[in-house]
Amino acid sequence: MTKKAKIKARPERSRSVNKTDAAERVRKIWPILKKAYPNAGTALRHANPLELLIATILSAQCTDARVNMVTKDVFKKYKSAEHWAKADVKHIESDIRSTGFYHNKAVSIKGASKAIAERYGGKVPDTMEELVALPGVGRKTANVVLGNAFGKPAIACDTHVIRLSRRLALSENSDAVKLEFDLAEIVPKKSWTLFSHVLILHGRNVCNARKPKCENCRISKHCPAANNPALW
C-alpha cells in the first residue's frame, strides 16, 4: 500500500462538509472497515442492561480494561438497581475509586439506580427519552445501552468516533450530539451501532490521535486527511 502522509495533531478548525460526498464516502469505507473488524462490539463486560449502564458511566475518562477490572467485583456486590440505590455514596466511591472521578460517578450511579428502582421497577428503560432523564445519563451513555443491551440502532460518539469522523470529512462537528445527528443522516440505520464500534477500534488500532498509521490504513485512499493533511 502506498505510504501516506501522517497527520500531525493540530488545533480544531472550522471545516465545511458536503453531506452527499460524506454519504458516498461512508458507502465506500463501510464494507472495508466492517471486514477489517468482524468481531467489533463493546469491550465493557456486562450481563444485563443495568450492568452496562453502570459500566458505561464508569468508563468516562477511564479505559475499558480498568472498568472491567472494577466491575468484576462490584457487580458481585451490587446486584440490582435497589442495591445501588440503597448503598452509601462513600461506599460506592471506595469501590469505584480507581476509575477516576469517583465522586461524580458514584452520585450518578446512585441517582440513576434510584430512579430506575422507583420509576421502572428496577428495570432499565429502553428509550432515549427515558434514559437521558436518569441522573448522570447523557446521549452517549444512552446510545451505548440502547445499541448493546437492547439491540436498537444507536450511534455512540466517543473521542475516537469524533476524531475519525472529522478526518474522514463525515462531519464538521466535534460536538458529540451534533455529530450523532450528522452520522445518522449518512450511515444506514441498521449499521449505526456497529459503525460506532468499528470506528472506535480503527481509532485505537490505526487512526491514532497523534500518530495515525496512514501507511497501514485500509481506507486511506478515501480519507481526505491522509491524502492532504494540510486540510485537516
Q: Which residues are catalytic?
A: 140, 158
Closest CA to 196 of 41, 66, 88, 52: 41
Identify the DSSP state of 12: -
- The string of DSSP codes covering 157-173 is --HHHHHHHHHTTS-S-
Give the chain's count of helices (H) and strands (E).
Answer: 12, 0
Amino acid found at 225: A
Which residue has 455529530 as its cell numbers?
A: 179
Helix then strand then coil, % of the chain, to nearest 5: 60, 0, 40
Q: Say if CB 43 and CB 68 are below 8 A apart.
A: yes
